Amino acid sequence: MKEIALHVLDIVQNSIEAGATRVAVTVTEDTERDLLTVEIVDNGRGMPPDVARAATDPFVTTRRTRPVGLGLPLLALAARQSGGSLTVDSRPGEGTRVLVTFRSGHVDRPPLGDMALTLACLMAANPTLDLDYVHVRDGREFRVSAADLRSRLDGVGLGNPAVFAFVRDYIGAKIREVSDTGRTTGAGTRTEPAGDRALSN
Ligand SMILES: Nc1ncnc2c1ncn2[C@@H]1O[C@H](COP(=O)(O)OP(=O)(O)OP(=O)(O)O)[C@@H](O)[C@H]1O
Ligand SMILES: [Mg+2]
């Protein structure tokens, strides 16, 4: 089963391919409402309404190497299989917003996965991308932005191996901090991966 963090990697890749210079990813966990939402907003070139409407159909793609696009349809399927949904709002010339919801406790809900690794990779591979991440769980919140990290690094790139490892560990620890205190045994059907792997939930 694919992890949500890997889907996020895919969806942010679409934003980058659409020329976005800014991408904001927000993960919200609401235990009370049994709801997990992931929102990805970019300032890329956007899509005309018909493309946006059809974008969750695997036969819609602007890629030239093969005739189907799978990023959005696979995420839409994962969302639907766990009682949620995916919506795409897009305006040509302005940007795109992908909103995905999952029933948190649904037996088929993919695990969040290693979001810290996804973010560290995106930051390392895209030195000029303004990537903002917010993780909210039951009102507690962690925010990180690539622009802020870069300004503290005094010219050392986020692709530097030591910096990459630091950023990944830092984000992982912070997300765990936000997630851990709210953890309940109520989710029943979910099993925790062994050990202390960052971000797995
Ligand atoms: N953020 C975005 N901004 C502009 N267009 C987008 C965006 N996301 C998706 N699209 C459009 O929707 C199409 C379908 O996206 P999807 O991720 O499903 O497939 P793909 O990117 O074409 O292929 P794959 O993800 O399998 O490599 C894209 O080809 C692109 O035209
Ligand atoms: Mg894609």
Distance 141 CA to ligand 2 centre (A): 28
What does the pLDDT look like over 28-42, one tens digit per residue?
999 999 999 999 999
pTM for the whole structure: 0.88
The answer, yes or no, to whether any atom of ligand 1 lies below 6 A from the CB of 18, is yes
Distance 136 CA to ligand 1 centre (A): 27
CA nearest ligand 1 atom 10, residue: 14
Pairwise CA distance, residues 158 & 71, whole Å = 26
Q: Residue 135 contacts by C-beta under 8 Å, 6 or more apart in sequence?
A: 26, 27, 28, 29, 115, 141, 142, 143, 174, 175, 178, 179
Nearest ligand to the CA of 15 is 1
pLDDT at site 166 = 95
61 confidence band (pLDDT: 50, 70, 90): confident
- Set out the domains of the chain in order of their start, with CATH numbers: 4-180 (3.30.565.10)
CA nearest ligand 1 atom 20, residue: 69
Average pLDDT over residues 51-59: 79
